[in-house]
Structure 1
Amino acid sequence: SSARAWAHIVDPLTYITIASTGAFLLAFVVIALVRRRFALAAAAVCVVSVANVTTQLFKAYWPTQPHWWSNSLPSGHSTVAMSIATAALIVAPVGARRWLLPFAGFGVTFVGAGTLVGHWHRPADVIAAFLLTTFLAAIALGVVQRVQHGRHPRDTSYAVRPVLSLAGSIGVGLIFVALGVRPLDHDVSLVLAFVSLVSIAVTAALTLAWISAAADDAVG
């Protein structure tokens, strides 16, 4: 990508810090406490903390071979983005979750795809971060459901959720194209770059849609 596109996409990623992550998480915990949903507050804290600690441990201790490969999986920035989006969906009221999806899809896709544009990560690193967080979200929601001793009727708008989250992801693609994102490395074809970015966008959209629906179904 051009230097201009690189700067506009990568610079916002530098604001993903421990402090900003903590600030978002604190806000979500306050929302859950105001709603008197203490189990949801605990679930949000657990998902964000465990996902990010696990990511850092995995990156630090997964075996590498300097002459053959170096481990960059999962992507730390992508884990932060997905875990924060997941926490927001967990603590949100039932009627609000689906309307958060376009914003969640946009934010998560922007961060995940941005790490590719910045040459920080491979597509597998980003997708692994998304799936790790989704797995932890499933566990957290299952535990909360058991604590609450019941299931909740799923919102009939379930079918539209992937469309809503994908709309946010598509918005990222349009912005990237408008900024002039193109593969400048001769070893990377335009088709390969397109497939990589689309795979990240679709994975983000589908996992967020599932988390939103599962939260409605499991915790109300």
Structure 2
Amino acid sequence: MIFWLAVGGGSYLLGVQNAMGQRAEDSVLDAAEFTTSPPPPLNLVSIPSVAVALLVIGLIALAVHGVKRAIVVTVVPALAIAASQLLKLHVLTRPELFELDAPNTFPSGHMTVFTVLTAALIWAVPAKIRGFATLAGAVLLSAVGWQLLAYGWHRPSDVLGGIALGTIAFAFACLIRPANSRGSAIGGWSISVGLAIIGWVMVAAALVLAAVAAANGDASMMLSAGQFGSIAAGILAARALLLLCSDRA
């Protein structure tokens, strides 16, 4: 949890409250190709679709783990999604550190939605297939993070903030009621190690791209750096959500 608190807080301080960070992130927006009609999975988010997804995941958790798990995987995502809107609209602020009309978009509501739905699914499915749900979640979060930046819907800090918020919400839930399950995930250890390696390689790639982009003033490369960073965060978050699920009976 401490790691994700640092990711969320650091993203806000460096990307939103810092002049250099604001300029770098606005260059990312400039390099993006904005569209109001993105392809899936980004265009699948709506209040009805999220409600249906939570209902389905809740029913899976009810059948596999019982009532208490079903409540967790439906209530925690709903609270996290509401918190993302509250934080963005009423709590967190984005100062205008240079002349630019820049409304606050931190944290990303879309990224929060996909993160908590991924977490809920990982917690809802039977323990044996939890690793495969984690892999699917890592791919989904990577795709959504990439899209949010590519189509100019959000800044990199917004994406990282949304991922951090969703992961922290389930970490808190785990502190209150650990996600104990009978059985172990098939390939769980290998999946965890593999995701860690890929995630940190992506982090390194993002940092290198950001450094080169800053040195050359290359907005397109800065966009790529943000996308690699978003992919890294999505992969590492999926791994963290897997690790939060205990295999103890």
Task: State the TM-score bracket (shorter-chain normalisation).
Answer: 0.7 to 0.9
Aligned amino acid, residue 54 of structure 2: L
Runs of 4+ in 1 over 6 A off after TM superposition: 6-9, 150-154, 165-168
Residue 64 of structure 2 corresponds to residue 35 of structure 1: yes
Gaps of 5+ in 2: 1-30, 200-215
User: What aligned pairs does 1:1-220 form with structure 2 within 5 A after superposition?
Assistant: 10-12=38-40, 13-61=42-90, 62-65=92-95, 68=98, 69-145=102-178, 157-161=188-192, 163=194, 188-217=218-247
RMSD: 3.3
Following superposition, the deviation at residue 189 of structure 1 comes to 3.4
Which AA in structure 1 matches 2:242?
Answer: S
* Per-residue Cα deviation, 1:123-161 (whole angstroms, up to 9, x for no partner): 11001111111111111122222xx8x787865732422
AA aligned to 2:194 is V
Identity %: 21
Q: Flag the 1:153–1:144 CA change in 2: closer, same or farther, 3 A.
A: same
State the Cα distance separating 1:50 from its structure 2 match.
1.3
Q: TM-score, normalised by structure 1?
A: 0.77
Whether contact under 8 Å (1:166, 1:205) holds in the other structure is no
Q: 1:212 to 1:19 in 2, by over 3 A?
A: same
2:183, 2:139 → 1: CA distance?
27
Report the alpha carbon displacement of residue 28 of structure 1 after superposing the two structures with TM. Answer: 0.8
Distance 2:219 2:105 in 1: 22
Contact kept in structure 1, 2:105 and 2:154, CA below 8 Å:
yes
User: What TM-score, normalized by structure 2, do the two folds share?
Assistant: 0.68
Whether contact under 8 Å (2:163, 2:237) holds in the other structure is: yes
Kindly provide the CA deviation profile for residues 69-125 of structure 1, in whole angstroms up to 9, marking residues without a partner as x: 431100011011111001001111111110112211121121122111111111110
